[in-house]
Structure 1
Amino acid sequence: MAARDEGAWHEGRARGMDPPALRRSEWGQDGAKSRAEMAADMVTEFAARVAAGTRLGTKDELRARCGVSVGTFNETLRLLQTRGVVTVQRGPGGGLFAAEQTPMARLAQSVLALDSAQDDVAEALRIRNALEPLLWQDALWHGSPADIKDLRALLARMEEAAGSEDAEQFVRANWHLHARVADITPSALLRSLYVNLLDLVERHAQAVLPQDGVPLGPYLRDRCGLHVELVDALENRDEKSVVRLLRVHDTVRAEEVG
């Protein structure tokens, strides 16, 4: 890495970019970010100062500079790739490289520019729901047995959280399930836009709120059952059931991200 670029990197580190870890309940409050997001912002700032194609370092080098764990940096790398900030090359001389800012990357950045105002989050949820049929349709025809196996594992996490009435863990597993469905689509544009909207909603979600008078436990189990049916329909290539179930799925209220 060039000395000038190394200096730019340490200039970012000098700004105090490694705060104490946040509890998830604190995400989205007063603009607070997770460590993975902080690390992604740090790498993004550095990548913006160098030419496209510049080698930023290996995964381990960047992780060490960000001062985060392996698991946290894996999430950071997912964010960076989704946002079109870096590309990854394998083998000798490989590592992470600054990506060219394509129209897709600029579109992702425009989503990230939205703030935590309730109107922005509700609008992101509305658009995300509008993209759901496209994602599940692609998953219907492109999903592999390995994809279905991964989705089943995430469903098991949802079922466990529903059984213990842990709304926070249920929401987390639910979003991971939807992000995994997005991984199946061959459309990079659809995947990038959807996952960035999903990230925006996730950052500012506070709770899962059933309709008035509905106990939390039955509500979570009902939502979990709906997703089990959706994955069953994917595995069976049952397009009619997927369409029917998505109509039910998208009745989720904007209040659930309030």
Structure 2
Amino acid sequence: MRVTPDRAARPTPSGRAERAAEKVAELVESVPPGSRLGTKEELRTLCGVSVGTFNEALRLLQSRGLVTVKPGPGGGLFSAEQSPMVRLGNSVLALDTQANDVADAVRIRDALDPLLIEDALWHASPADIAGLRRHIAAMEEAKDAADPVAFVHANWRLHAAIAATSPNALLSSLYTHLLDLIERHTLTVLPASDQPLGEYIAHRHELHRDLVDALDRRDRDEALRLIHEHNTTLQAADARAAHG
């Protein structure tokens, strides 16, 4: 069947969601932070899209830290307030609240990583390694889709899976709680240096892939070297020293 020009140019659902998100983003830029934009139905009608398409647009807007949703009378969509920030390597986490708590959680998580890598070297089974590789594949998909939020969430799931291999229930539970706290308050991921965020994410994907390979080989020296390189707290300290 021959495709007519009109049909060939018809936007895809993801394209319609992106355009709806852009329209709401323009509205956000025109009002002060914290301003009420309208109800979901009012904004969906303004964008002229279906409920499903607007829900996808809303997901994009929330992942970019542009809007917040408040329930109840007087609720609806609001332009996001100024987001607190926490440094994570060469990227920045834009948070909803509790910046100090998240910064502390990142620092403690980084300190615990070598302990969990030591446990994984001894206790990760072939099935555990296969599960880690599935998380690496999810990180690769997010990298290829240029979706930094999905990437960091997949990254955190990988680390939670590494923690789950530890026989130390207290250590594993503490680490998982820290990841939950960080994930719960993260809105989006932004570049923090001259290095493009895409390049940084590609490097982090390669580092984690190599780390899982080292765990599979039971290569302790390489695994510990990589987790040291992985340490975002040390990266931030190195960056401050370089510019001091």
TM-score (norm 2): 0.56
Q: Do the aligned partners of 2:110 and 2:232 also contact (CA within 8 Å) in 1?
A: no
Q: Percent identity?
A: 53
1:191 aligns with 2:229: no
Q: What is the Cα deviation at residue 160 of structure 1?
A: 1.1
Find the aligned partners of 1:133 and 1:210 in 2 and give their Cα distance: 26
Specify the alignment match of 1:213 in structure 2.
194
Find the aligned partners of 2:121 and 2:109 in 1 and give their Cα distance: 18
Residues 93-151 of structure 1 show CA distances to partners (whole Å, capped at 9, x for unaligned) of: xxxxxxxxxxxxxxxxxxxxxx9421111011101111111111101110010001001
Q: Do the aligned partners of 2:163 and 2:175 also contact (CA within 8 Å) in 1?
A: yes
1:242 aligns with 2:220: no
> Which range moved further: 122-131 or 199-208?
199-208
Specify the alignment match of 2:116 in structure 1.
135
Q: Do the aligned partners of 1:163 and 1:217 also contact (CA within 8 Å) in 2?
A: no
For residue 146 of structure 2, give the secondary structure of its aligned residue in structure 1.
Answer: coil
1:204 aligns with 2:204: no
Q: Do the aligned partners of 1:165 and 1:216 also contact (CA within 8 Å) in 2?
A: no
Find the aligned partners of 1:170 and 1:155 in 2 and give their Cα distance: 10
Specify the alignment match of 2:75 in structure 1.
none
Specify the alignment match of 2:211 in structure 1.
230
For residue 222 of structure 1, give the secondary structure of its aligned residue in structure 2.
Answer: helix
RMSD over aligned Cα atoms = 2.7
Q: What is the Cα deviation at residue 26 of structure 1?
A: 9.0
Q: What is the Cα deviation at residue 25 of structure 1?
A: 3.2
Specify the alignment match of 1:154 in structure 2.
135
> Which range moved further: 115-124 or 125-134?
115-124
For residue 159 of structure 1, give the secondary structure of its aligned residue in structure 2.
Answer: helix
Q: Do the aligned partners of 1:135 and 1:181 also contact (CA within 8 Å) in 2?
A: yes
1:176 aligns with 2:157: yes
Q: What is the Cα deviation at residue 210 of structure 1?
A: 3.6
Structure index of larger Rg: 2
1:25 aligns with 2:6: no
Q: Do the aligned partners of 2:135 and 2:157 also contact (CA within 8 Å) in 1?
A: yes
TM-score (norm 1): 0.53
For residue 208 of structure 1, give the secondary structure of its aligned residue in structure 2.
Answer: strand
Find the aligned partners of 1:123 and 1:116 in 2 and give their Cα distance: 13
Instruction: Flag the 1:226–1:210 CA change in 2: closer, same or farther, 3 A.
Output: farther
User: 5+ residue gaps in structure 1?
Assistant: 1-19, 33-114
Find the aligned partners of 2:189 and 2:204 in 1 and give their Cα distance: 11
Q: What is the Cα deviation at residue 162 of structure 1?
A: 0.7
Find the aligned partners of 1:231 and 1:215 in 2 and give their Cα distance: 25
Q: Do the aligned partners of 2:139 and 2:151 also contact (CA within 8 Å) in 1?
A: yes
Q: What is the Cα deviation at residue 177 of structure 1?
A: 0.4
The runs of 4+ residues in structure 1 deviating greater than 3 Å are 22-27
**Larger relative CO (CA 8 A, sep 6+): 1 or 2?**
2
For residue 189 of structure 2, give the secondary structure of its aligned residue in structure 1.
Answer: coil
Q: Name the structure where strand makes up a greater proportion of residues.
A: 2
Specify the alignment match of 2:102 in structure 1.
121
Residues 142-198 of structure 1 show CA distances to partners (whole Å, capped at 9, x for unaligned) of: 001000100111101101111121111101111110111111000110011000011
